Amino acid sequence: MRSGYFKETIAEQIALTDSWAVRAWVIALVLALIVAPFYLNPFYLSLLTTIAITVVGALGLNVLTGWTGLISLGHVGFMLLGAYAYAIPVALHGYDPLVGLLLAGLVPALASLLVGVPSLRLTGLYLAITTLAFSFIINHLILSFDGFTRGARGIFVNRPTILGVSFQSDAAFALLCLGFAAATLLATLNLRRSRIGRAFVAIRDNDTAARVMGVNLHAYKLFAFVTSSFIIGISGALYGIFLSFVSVDGFPFVLSIQALAILIVGGLGTALGAVLGSVFIVLLPEVVNLGFGVLGGEAARAISTGAHELKSMLYGLVIILFLRFQPHGLVGLWRDLKRGWVNWPLRY
């Protein structure tokens, strides 16, 4: 007589899910996301595209900060490198967009070695300051090499045509971004289940214990930097295409704060948290704008004139509130709700 549910094979242990209900919900969600771009109006379609691009970038940062425990404020620097690595060969020299997307990942990945190697012995605040300095250096170099990057003038970028499929329309481009978000989610989930992913988590939890167990700290930290930067660079290229214009001003520092806010609000160290946090953070300013719009014209105008400052304030506020009242983020809240539903009316 079985006294519980046990996983008896390695395949069962590492499966993404063993629940048919979860699989059914995932299939329904995927179908809804495929159909949605053809029915949404331009405003909601732009929000959906922004969320998809943000999910890609957040999953990339989650590899470095969420799983390996290396805090980075250079998110926007790698995004900017990815955007220029796509825009320069494709928009200025006529290369195929696939080549541009590949370079958008490779160039930030190679650049991450420059900041990763000197930072191998740094942790916490020191590493955060180093990566922050890296993002400012990237901005300065792009503005200085005017002949190569067009400096402050920026580069206009058209929507791509990949393998004969045009992504000129908003709906088609949204589907492209959703495809990248889904592929990144699957790739990172499988990376987390692999030997490499377990080494990342071991380094995050206790790097001394990880070293004793035979984990090569330098190699795995570098691999985390490279993997994270590759994914973030792709998100930067997609964001540049979405804006149709790549410039330093289009990638403000607040994007780095936004990325950290996403991980904290969603739940640090989980792929699902990166997705939920992206949805929450992207929609938060719109919900606040809607609320102030209900209050009247003066409040709506005050919000519209100070939108940038409002976003920074909101990100800071939600970080403080989540760290104080829900440190495990939206994923932790969802787990508490499920536990409460299963055990009700008992507490445990």
Percentage of the chain surpassing pLDDT 70? 91
- Average pLDDT of 18-23? 81
**Paired tokens of 199:** 């080494």
Question: What's the CA dihedral at 265, 270, 271, 275 to 10 degrees?
Answer: -20
- Average pLDDT of 236-263? 87
Q: Which amino acid is at 175?
A: L
Longest dimension (CA), the chain: 75
Q: Say how far apart CA 41 and CA 258 lie, in whole Å.
A: 26
Candidates 85, 88, 80, 82; CA nearest to 136 is 80
Q: Say how far apart CA 283 and CA 286 lie, in whole Å.
A: 5
**Paired tokens of 133:** 């300095």
Q: Say how far apart CA 208 and CA 211 lie, in whole Å.
A: 5
Residue 5: is its pLDDT beyond 90?
A: no
Strand partners, 156: 245
pTM recorded for the entire structure: 0.88
Tens-place pLDDT, residues 183-194 = 999 999 988 888
Q: Say how far apart CA 114 and CA 108 lie, in whole Å.
A: 10
CB atoms within 10 A of CB 195: 8
Residue 164: is its pLDDT beyond 80?
A: yes
Whether the Cβ atoms of residue 227 and residue 110 lie closer than 8 Å to each other: no
- Angle formed at CA 325 by CA 76 and CA 65, multiple of 5 degrees: 30
Handedness of CA 322, 69, 205, 273 (dihedral sign): positive
Question: Which residue, chain included where needed, has tokens 């890609």?
Answer: 56
pLDDT at 347: 66
Whether the Cβ atoms of residue 54 and residue 281 lie closer than 8 Å to each other: yes
**Paired tokens of 170:** 């908003």
Q: Say how far apart CA 106 and CA 233 lie, in whole Å.
A: 8
- Average pLDDT of 151-168? 86
Residue 296: is its pLDDT beyond 70?
A: no
Tens-place pLDDT, residues 42-52 = 889 999 999 99
Q: Say how far apart CA 55 and CA 187 lie, in whole Å.
A: 13
Strand partners, 166: 161
pLDDT at 126: 80
pLDDT at 298: 63
Residue 103: is its pLDDT beyond 90?
A: yes
